[in-house]
Amino acid sequence: MRASDIIVKKRERGVLSREEIAFIVRGYVDGSIPEYQVSALLMAIFFQGMTPEETGFLTREMIDSGETMDLSTVPGPFVDKHSTGGVGDKVSLILAPIAAACGVRVPMMSGRSLGHTGGTLDKLESIPGFRTDLTPTRFAEIIGSCGFAMTGQSREVVPADRQLYALRDVTGTVESVPLITSSILSKKFAEGADALVFDVKTGPGAFMKSRDDARELAQSLVDTGAGLGKKIVAVLTRMEVPLGAKVGNFLEVEESLALLRAPAALDRVPVDERSDDLLEVTLRLTAWMLVAAGAARSVEDGLERCRGVLDSGDALSRWEENTRLQGGDVEETYRRLGTWRAPETTEITAVRDGVLTGLDAFAVGMGSVYLGVGRSKATDDVLPDVGFEVLRKPGSMVRRGEPILRAWGHSESALARAVDRVQEGITIEDRSPGDDRGMILEEITAL
């Protein structure tokens, strides 16, 4: 085989065989095929696409390019959840202990923030002492003990994905649906999951801005995963407004703990300040995990079980156990709640009376990057004690001068830049608030 022949075949809309895909992936990993030829093939795939069968071949070859997590010493079932990325998305921090308390094993390999979207690993590492660099053996041990573990991708797991993603990032081919599908699925199957639940976000704060694009990705994930013999659920959710009430690394840990510690207390919180949207998405995704694992008869049964372990405190106990097993200091974390903030603070206020009709998630996400919550490039450091608190959600009546968001940063210049960016995404109109819209848009399953 020659790489140039495979590039031309795909350029001319040909369907690649498993042998051809294997030749490219293995050659790129071992260095026998140069980067410029792989770049050309990525661009051909970007424009011509791949069939579900081709995507499955690519996913399998990427899995086989490195080590996989050995969970044979731990009884299953193993179910993981993956989000396509959003602003204020701290669902994994709440979902994993809930699912574990319901008897589902959750092997979770997470990523870091990049661009306007947050990263689970950065949020976890804002917990004092928390370690995410787990060896495969320790990863399995922690899952066996408390039901879930949270780690990052090592150099030995799916090296083909690490190399291909870096190349996609600099060749303008990140948004290709088959390439996204194979990247996500290869990492998730390498971690040992038997079933996967996907949170495919759509809206200004998501990578998939349109619902049609999000649906295309969701269907690709379901079809490819099912073709590889896995149980798959994809849930399309809104990402027009930041999810929940806080955006920031430790701020999102705080909000997660608030739901784990006292979910019933939400009823006593003003509607504008509640995390109802966060709770709705978290419980729905977790309920689907229970269904996929055979731990619930239906989504409704799963929702009831999830609420039960929240109300009983079992989910919080799982979080505390996991945090200690991964080196975190639970007591110090609790002491920092509500107090660990960057020294500079300001409020973003309403410029007129009316109805808050827009709070653009992308604008808030970019504003948070200016504060240090996220990264503009992979080598940037992130800060644990900066971010935003959302004080009013769209649909709220506001008066001129009333605070809509509160921000924390380490310099007045960073705050000013962040505030300017967020203000671009705030709209206030005269019309009355419309009906509240649910967060769940569609669900696609292969169980």
- The answer for residues whose C-beta is within 8 angstroms of residue 57's C-beta and 6 or more apart is 16, 17, 18, 21, 22
Q: What is the CATH number of the domain that holds 250?
A: 3.40.1030.10
pLDDT for position 272: 46
Is the distance from CB of 87 to CB of 123 less than 8 angstroms? no
Give domain status of residue 401, yes or no.
yes
pLDDT for position 166: 83
Q: Which candidate in 10, 60, 81, 82 is catalytic?
A: 82
Is the distance from CB of 28 to CB of 163 less than 8 angstroms? yes
Do 132 and 215 share a domain, yes or no?
yes
Catalytic annotation present for 161: yes
Do 319 and 409 share a domain, yes or no?
no
Asked if the bond preceding 159 is cis, omega within 30° of 0, the reply is no
pLDDT for position 267: 54
pLDDT for position 380: 74
Do 188 and 208 share a domain, yes or no?
yes
Is the distance from CB of 278 to CB of 259 less than 8 angstroms? yes
Give domain status of residue 122, yes or no.
yes
Q: What is the CATH number of the domain that holds 42?
A: 1.20.970.10
Kind of pairing, strands 403-409 and 344-349?
antiparallel
Do 238 and 370 share a domain, yes or no?
no
Do 221 and 107 share a domain, yes or no?
yes
Q: What is the CATH number of the domain that holds 387?
A: 3.90.1170.30
Is the distance from CB of 118 to CB of 126 less than 8 angstroms? no
Is the distance from CB of 157 to CB of 67 less than 8 angstroms? yes
CA–CA gap between residue 192 and residue 202 (Å, rounded): 28
Q: Which candidate in 65, 83, 154, 183 is catalytic?
A: 183
Q: Torsion angle of alpha carbons 140, 328, 186, 8, nearest 10°? A: -150
pLDDT for position 435: 58
Q: Which candidate in 89, 161, 194, 223 is catalytic?
A: 161
- Burial code (b: 16+ CB inside 10 Å, e: under 16) for 111-123 equals bbbbebbbbbbbb
Other CB atoms within 10 Å distance of the CB of residue 321: 18
pLDDT for position 93: 97
Q: Which two tokens stand for residue 291?
A: 């269904």
Do 259 and 319 share a domain, yes or no?
yes
Other CB atoms within 10 Å distance of the CB of residue 194: 18
Do 323 and 357 share a domain, yes or no?
no
pLDDT for position 417: 96
Alpha-carbon distances of 198 from 57, 69, 93, 131, 280, rounded to whole Å: 21, 20, 15, 25, 15
Do 31 and 94 share a domain, yes or no?
no
Do 272 and 412 share a domain, yes or no?
no
Do 123 and 215 share a domain, yes or no?
yes
Q: Find the domain containing 408 and state its range.
A: 344-429
Give domain status of residue 120, yes or no.
yes
Q: What is the pLDDT along the chain (447 residues), one digit of tens a residue?
A: 999 999 999 999 999 999 999 999 999 999 999 999 999 999 999 999 999 999 999 999 999 998 888 899 999 899 999 999 899 999 999 999 999 999 999 999 887 766 677 789 999 999 999 999 998 899 999 999 999 999 987 778 888 988 998 899 789 898 899 999 999 999 888 888 999 999 999 999 998 999 999 999 999 999 999 999 999 999 999 999 999 999 999 999 999 999 998 765 555 545 444 688 999 999 999 999 999 999 999 999 999 999 999 999 999 999 999 999 999 999 999 999 999 999 999 999 999 999 999 999 999 999 999 999 987 666 778 999 999 999 999 988 999 999 999 999 999 999 999 999 999 999 999 987 565 678 999 999 998
Residues in the chain: 447
Give domain status of residue 67, yes or no.
no
Please, what sign has the CA dihedral across residues 300, 215, 280, 228?
positive
pLDDT for position 447: 87
pLDDT for position 268: 53
Do 294 and 352 share a domain, yes or no?
no
Q: In what order do the strands lie in the sheet with 231-238?
A: 79-83, 195-202, 231-238, 440-446
Dihedral class, residue 126 (left if φ above 0, else alpha if ψ from -120 to 50, else beta) = alpha
Give domain status of residue 435, yes or no.
no
Give domain status of residue 125, yes or no.
yes
Catalytic annotation present for 183: yes
Give domain status of residue 413, yes or no.
yes
- The answer for residues whose C-beta is within 8 angstroms of residue 281's C-beta and 6 or more apart is 91, 199, 237, 243, 439, 440
Number of domains in the chain: 3
Catalytic annotation present for 187: yes
Do 365 and 249 share a domain, yes or no?
no
Q: Which candidate in 81, 90, 168, 318 is catalytic?
A: 168
Give domain status of residue 73, yes or no.
no
Q: Which candidate in 116, 162, 187, 336 is catalytic?
A: 187
Dihedral class, residue 285 (left if φ above 0, else alpha if ψ from -120 to 50, else beta) = alpha
